[in-house]
Chain A
């Protein structure tokens, strides 16, 4: 049973527009959430994180929103740039510090 779900395997967005990547989770014990970005032939790189005590965290063009009641988080990228084309993984950790990743969403930024 997947505890972290990224239901969209891929997403295409026009350059300059907003990209919204979604992630749902089932375990209410998760208390820390992270987003990673992965280019082909490279390991994932950390993008942004959010603690369960917050509902928003912003870093430049990247903002993560957390809706605990809906067990949903989203990553907003604005404006989207060609270099943002990659696979994005949502991850969550529980109090045992075990990290669970989603299956990823492939983002295509269209010119």
Chain B
């Protein structure tokens, strides 16, 4: 089985722009979660989608949004980028929602200048 893929792997944007990141889960997995990783804060949960519905949401501002398509692929959007949004954004898929083993993609490294 192919693993979780994320595109693009690296991205440089300027403040005020918006960005869309993409995640393709493992075939058959219906749950996709997004995380932000920064050196000071570790891995922080953004949101989880299961069967096209947002099941859980972390404590991030409304500038961070996501969606999931019928093929389980997911996109994450960040609008009005700020310098502090520079981070590694990780996507993880799972066959079930919530608790349990997740499989992570390699991440998208976003740099905001």
Is the Cβ of B97 less than 8 Å from the Cβ of A97?
yes
A98 to B50, CA, bound (A): 13
A79 to B23, CA, bound (A): 36
User: How many residues belonging to A are interface residues under a CB distance threshold of 8 Å?
Assistant: 24
A41 to B88, CA, bound (A): 10
Cβ < 8 Å to B, chain A residues 1-21: 6
Most chain B CB within 10 A, of A6, A32, A44, A91, is at A44
Q: How far is the CB of A28 from chain B (nearest CB, A)?
A: 16
Interfacial chain A residues near B90, Cβ < 8 Å:
43-44
Is the Cβ of A32 less than 8 Å from the Cβ of B99?
yes
Is the Cβ of B56 less than 8 Å from the Cβ of A97?
yes
Q: Which residue of A lies closest to B90 (CB)?
A: A43
Is the Cβ of B98 less than 8 Å from the Cβ of A93?
yes
Please choose the segment from B64-72, B73-81, B104-112 that sits at the chain A interface, where 4 or more of its residues have CB less than 8 A away.
B104-112
Is the Cβ of A34 less than 8 Å from the Cβ of B106?
no
A42 to B92, CA, bound (A): 12
Given A89-B43, A99-B33, A101-B35, is A45 in contact with B104 using a C-beta cutoff of 8 Å? yes
6 new A-B contacts at CB < 8 Å, known A44-B92, A103-B40: A31-B99, A44-B43, A97-B97, A97-B99, A98-B48, A98-B58
